[in-house]
Structure 1
Amino acid sequence: MNYIGDKLKNLRQQLGLTQTEMAAGVISVSFYSKVERGLNDIGVNDFLEILKSHNVTPKEFFEDIIIKDNDEKKLNGLVNRFIKVATEDNDVEINKVIKELDKIKIQTPFIKFSKLAAKLIANTHDKKALKRLTTKQKNQIKKMIFQKDTDENEYYRIVILANIIRIYSFEEATFLVKGVIRRYDSSEKVESKTEVALSGLMINYINWCMELGKLDYCYEPLNFLKRLPEKIDLAFTKILGLYFGDLIKQKKNEAKEIRVILDKAGYSTFVNKIAK
């Protein structure tokens, strides 16, 4: 990518200068012209001298990089906050996160996708909302989940799928979950945040299986959950895995103890939604 050349050209056009005026006698016009086109690399001293000639500081010149870096840090914080409030069904906080995403200056495809995901989950995260969706709306959501644009969105696709898995028929959901398990079982390295999203998908699917009394369908996702690393970030979903395992084995007292502990730990909203 010809970043410096493109930036110099944009700056020159903003200042209303010719290439001769922009070169400012620091380098030849022909050399400068090739810098703009990405054919020549400009030396650091010459580059700084040209900026100085036009009263432009390096900070001003690279301002978009600084903004982008700050935006990425802000986005990471918002993503973590969003996952938490989505799990808690906290509509007020979900909408606050959406407003914060709107404030990010550089709206990259990933940020736009993040906002879309947040709005989608805000509007469909409970059973009643899902039932109100038309067939057309469901098809649009399904298309969005699997539309490929950037690799970063793979994580968000799993987050969305985990939250709106019931938009599919049970048979469709089972096919998707099995496909996800096969894919990530064969992956050598998975990002920590993706592991958390995967564990959430498994738990929501298992919970659905339990509600329908389809216990045989629980074993594969439960085993996948067990194979995930022993990390603090995965503690909550792994505990839920133990809970569902106890239910399947008819260990009702052990399962009840886990519900009580989770309730005391502040997960009452979630506890009230899971199968007993």
Structure 2
Amino acid sequence: MTVGEALKQIRLQAGLTQTQMAAGVVSESFYSKVERGVHSIDVQTLINILSAHHMDVVHFFSLLNYQKSETEPNFELINEISFAQNKKDIKALNEIKRKLENGGGCNLPLIYSFD
């Protein structure tokens, strides 16, 4: 997993927008490009962003070693579910459920009910 992928994952899990995650440490534009892998970020700036949200730096770096890459087919789906769950967005969860039931390109078994 890249630094940008890990940032996106923890941002979505925290229910934050890119603007909120940038936290005035960097511009939203720069932050977005880091998530997409267009720009790299120096360690001190990365730590400042994580610290601004009281995020565990050690946990963040463990993601880089142990999580699968965005190239895995379910990466985006897991992020969508995490974001909707943290926002308590039942409508979005039901839309994800509908897509999965209609063969939304994912091989995950649907074992949870969002109702």
- Cross-structure match for 1:20: 19
In the other structure, the counterpart of 1:48 is: 47
| Structure 1 residue runs without a partner (length 5+) | 69-105, 107-276
Q: Which structure's residues are more often helix, by fraction?
A: 1
Q: 1:36: Cα distance to partner?
A: 0.4
Q: Which has the higher contact order (CA 8 A, sep 6+)?
A: 2
Structure 2 equivalent of residue 60 of structure 1: 59
Taking the aligned partners of 2:3 and 2:64, their CA distance within structure 1 comes to 12
* Count, aligned residues: 67
Provide the identity percentage: 48
In the alignment, what sits opposite 1:39?
Answer: 38
Cα distance in 1 for residues equivalent to 2:44 and 2:11: 18
Q: CA RMSD in A?
A: 1.9
CA distance in 2, matches of 1:64, 1:8: 9
Query: TM-score of the superposition, structure 2-length normalised?
Result: 0.53
* Partner amino acid, structure 1, of 2:4: G
> Over residues 54-95 of structure 1, what are the superposed CA-to-partner deviations in whole Å (9 max), with x where a residue is unaligned?
1112211123456x4xxxxxxxxxxxxxxxxxxxxxxxxxxx
TM-score by length of 1: 0.23
State which structure, 1 or 2, has the greater radius of gyration over its C-alpha atoms. Answer: 1
1:4 aligns with 2:3: yes
* Partner-residue secondary structure (3-state), 1:62: helix
- Structure 1's consecutive aligned runs of 4 or more residues displaced over 3 angstroms after TM superposition are none
Q: Is the 8 A contact 2:6 2:64 kept in 1?
A: no
Corresponding residue of 1:232: none
Deviations 1:214-247 (A, max 9, x none): xxxxxxxxxxxxxxxxxxxxxxxxxxxxxxxxxx
Q: Distance in 1 between matches of 2:31 and 2:64?
A: 23
